[in-house]
A and B are shown apart, each in its own frame.
Chain A
Amino acid sequence: MWHGALVVFRFELRRTMTLNRVAIWLLLVLFPVFIVSVMKYYEPEIEGEIPRDAFNSRQVRVQRGLAWGEEEHDGDGDESGPAPHPRGSAAEAEPNPMDPIWGFVFFGLIPEVITLFGLLLWVPPLVHAELEGRTWIYLAVRPRGRVSVLLGKYLTAITWTALAGWASTTACVLIAQPGCALRLWGTMVALVTLACLAYGAIYSLIGVWLHRRAMAIAVSYTLIFEFLVSFIPAVINKFTVQYRLRNLLFTWMDWWDLVPIEASTLFLGSERAWVHVLILCGIVVAVLGVAAQVIQRREYATIAEA
C-alpha cells in the first residue's frame, strides 16, 4: 500500500511542475509576503497605535516583577486557567510590542489561509478529478490502487502546501524581523505542518465520501466548523483543528498572558502542547483510516456511466 502511495506521490508531484501550478504556488507564497511587506512599511504607525496597556504583555509583567505562570490577580492555582507553560527561551528574547501582532498576522495568513487554500485546491477533488478526467478506472484496477491514490494524493497535497507555507513563513519572518524571529519561525513551521496534516486528512475524507460536491462541502465545513464553531465558548470547539492550532500558538509562543484569563478559559484550553499534538495526530490517523475504508468500498461510477 505504501509502495503504491509513494508511486502516486511521485507521479502527482511531477505533474505539479506545470506553469499554471507553479504560478498558483507562487501566488500562495507571495500573498502573505505582500500583506506583511505593507504592514512592515507602516510598522511605526501601527506600533504607535498600540496602547501601552493593550496587552498584559511580557514586558509589563517583567516590569512588575512577575514570573511566568504566576497569576497577578489571585495566584491560587485556579484550575480554569491555563496550565504552566514551557518557559525559558522567550525570557531571553528581546521583548517587542509588535511581536504578538506579527504572530497573529502570520498565524491568520499562513496556517489559516495559505494552508487551507492550498489544500482546498488539491484535496477535495482527489477522486472527482480522476472520475472527470476518466482516469479513475485505470488506477482502481491496480491492487490497493484506490488507497494508493488516496494516500499518494494526500502526501502530494500536504507536501505542495507545506512547502508554500514554509517558504511564505520564512519570507515573512525575514521581512518583519520580529524580536523573537527564530521562535516565531519555528512555531509557524510546526503549525503549518500540523495544519496541513489535519486539514488534508479531513478534506480527503470529504473528497472520497461526498466526491460530487466535495469542494463546496469542504469550504462550508471550513467556514462553519473551523472558523465559527471553533470560537463558540463550549466543549464543541475542542473538536476543531483550529482550536488545537490556536492553543499551540499561544503555548509555544508563551502568549497566555496576552489575553484576559476569562477569554483564555473560553476560547483556549488548559491542555499541554503534547496533548494538542497527539490529538491532531489522532485526528489524522482516524480520519485517513475512515477515508481509506470509504474509498475501498465505494462504487464510483464514471461520468459516462452516471
Chain B
Amino acid sequence: MRDIITIVVRLTVSCLLAATVMGLCFIFTSNAKKHNEHVKEQQVMYELLGYKGGAAIPESLAMHEVYRYVISNSEKQSIGYLVPAGHGEDGKFLFVNIDLDGTMIESKPVTLSAIEALEAETRNKAVLAAVSPGNTVTFADQTIVVTENGNRIAYLLGGKFQGFKTFVHVMLAVDPAFSFVGMEILEHEEDPGLGAEIEQDYFKNQFKGKPFAALKAIDVVKAPIPDDYFKALTGKVSDDDIMQFREQYKDKDIYALTGATISTKAVAYGVKGIVTKFAYRVTVLDKVLKEQQLAVSF
C-alpha cells in the first residue's frame, strides 16, 4: 500500500514538474511564435503581389486591413466593417454598420492602435463597444486592400472552405476588377500525392489571370492537362508564352488533379465562393462609404 502511494505521489510530482517546464517554455516562446506567423503571412501577401524572394517593396505600396463582423440581436442581423479611417493615421478606425439590404445603420469612429487591431481579443472588444447594447458581434473574415499611391491595385482575401478531409485555408489575391491574381494554400490536410497536389504551382497557376466572369462560372473538368499547357503552368516556357496560354485558357475550366477530383472541386468552388461573395460585399461597402461621404484610407 505504501508503495502504491509513493509511486502515485512521485508520478504526480514528475508530471507536474514536466508540465511546469513545458508551460514556461510555451509562455516564453509564444510571442516569438506569433511574430513569426505574422511575418510569414506578410511574406505570403507580398509574394502574391509579385514581390518574390525579398524583392524591394516600394514605399508607395500600402496595405489596409478591413475586418468584417456579423452583428446580430434577437430580431435581425447586419454586417459591420471595421475600416482604417482618414488617411491611415495610426489608431484611427471607422466602424460602419450596414443593413443586409445595403443601407447604412450607423458609423462610429473607433480608436484602436495597430497592435490592438491585429490582436483578435482587443479588436473584438472595441467592436462590441461600438455597437448598441444588446447586440452580439461575431468576427467573420478580414480582407486587405492594397493601394499604390492611393489607387487600389489588389485585394487580398483570406478564407477557408471544406476540403476532402478538413478545412483548406487559403489566401487569394484579386485585382480591383476581381480577376484572379494568385493564390496560396496556407493550411490543408489533403492526402499526400493526391489532394495535397493542390499546393503545387501547376495547379494554382491554372487560376491565374481568370477574369471575374469566368471565375463566377468556374467548374472542374476530368481530363488530363494538355502537355504544352502543363509546361506553361510549371513555368518551363518563356514569359510571353505563359501569357499566351493564360489568355487561351482564361475562360476554360480547371483540370482535375489525378485521383483527387473532390479536392480540386473543393478548391475551385471555394475560390468561386470567396471571390463572388467578396465582390458583392465590397461593392456594397464602397457604395455606402461614398453615399455617406466617409473618409477611409483606401
Q: Do A and B come from one complex?
A: no
Interface residues of A (CB under 8 A from B): none
Interface residues of B (CB under 8 A from A): none
